[in-house]
Amino acid sequence: MMTATAMNTANKFDIENLNLFYNNGANHALKDITLPIPSKKVTALIGPSGCGKSTLLRCLNRMNDLIEGVKINGRLEMDRENVYGNIDIASLRIKVGMVFQKPNPFPMSIYDNVAYGLRAQGVTDKKKLDEVVEKSLRGAALWDEVKDRLKSHAFGLSGGQQQRLCIARTIAMEPEVILMDEPTSALDPIATKKIEDLMEELKKNYTIVIVTHSMQQARRISDRTAFFLMGELVEHDETANLFANPRDDRTRGYVNGDFG
């Protein structure tokens, strides 16, 4: 069971001694993870494939609940509330939105993609929907590119535009946190730069946690970086410090490209 303890109020999440097991305990995927995630900053999770970074990301909005045979212990709190306590998971996933590796717009218009979540909550007022759609598309730096074709099918957008549409769809639900699981891995360099520039703006209003395989991207866009290896958190620090002066030889080897 996770116990409630006092948190640093500058942090959006406080994680302490978190363990996650797959296959009813057979696979120890996260090992005693202790990590603060500050509010309204970009925290990058880096490390080789299979090191646990995406698994940790999915803990933050309890997406791992959807996997059979998962067991979790330790402490994970958001704003001093136990994420794995008696909470409404649907509400949690609204507060903690997620953008996936591959753009996944719904098979409908640009407008309907952004309005989908509000309509699912029973919002029918067209003026309200119009306002939220415009605000969200502006927030995702997409409005000027699509304002004249909101009724066009979302699949007609480029890959980078589709990913920003997915970010707009997340913003429309007024989250507090945006999780991003390798959001630019399927995009070209121009689209990647637009997403990275967007993150710089989004962190003014949202806490962002991003999983990335690109150390260059982590350097460019994150305030803090955490390095994972074989289910362990090796070290975490301000991004500039971690890359310039890693404390652990394993981190030094990874950032220098010696393995990965």
What's the CATH code of the domain at 142?
Answer: 3.40.50.300
Per-residue pLDDT band for 258 (boundaries 50, 70, 90) equals low
Count of domains for the chain = 1
Mean pLDDT of 150-178: 96
If you average pLDDT over every residue of the chain, what do you get? 93
Does 5 map to a domain? no
Q: What is the pLDDT of residue 259?
A: 56
The per-residue pLDDT for range 32-68, each reduced to its tens digit, is 999 999 999 999 999 999 999 999 999 999 999 989 9
Domain assignment present for residue 125? The answer is yes
pTM for this predicted structure? 0.92
Q: Which domain holds residue 74?
A: 11-256
Mean pLDDT value across residues 85-112: 95
Is residue 228 in a domain?
A: yes
Inform me whether the pLDDT recorded for 103 exceeds 90. yes
Q: Is residue 2 part of a domain?
A: no
Domain-located, residue 3: no
Q: Is the pLDDT of residue 7 over 50?
A: no
Q: 6 falls in which pLDDT band (50, 70, 90)?
A: very low
Q: What's residue 167's pLDDT?
A: 96
Residue 8 has a pLDDT of 52
Q: Is residue 4 part of a domain?
A: no
CA–CA separation, 254 and 67 (whole Å) = 30
The 10s digit of each residue's pLDDT in 199-247 is 999 999 999 999 999 999 999 999 999 999 999 999 999 999 999 999 9
What is the pLDDT at residue 149?
Answer: 97
- Tens of pLDDT, residue by residue over 167-202, are 999 999 999 999 999 999 989 999 999 999 999 999
pLDDT at 21 (0 to 100) = 96
Residue 3 reports pLDDT greater than 50: no
How far, in Å, CA of 201 to CA of 207, rounded? 11
Across residues 71-83, what is the average pLDDT? 95
- C-beta atoms surrounding 25 within 10 Å: 10
Q: Do the domain assignments include residue 147?
A: yes
Q: Is the per-residue pLDDT at 2 higher than 50?
A: no
Residue 1 has pLDDT above 50, yes or no: no
Identify whether 236 is part of a domain: yes
Please tell me the distance from the alpha carbon of residue 224 to that of residue 260, in angstroms, as a whole number: 20
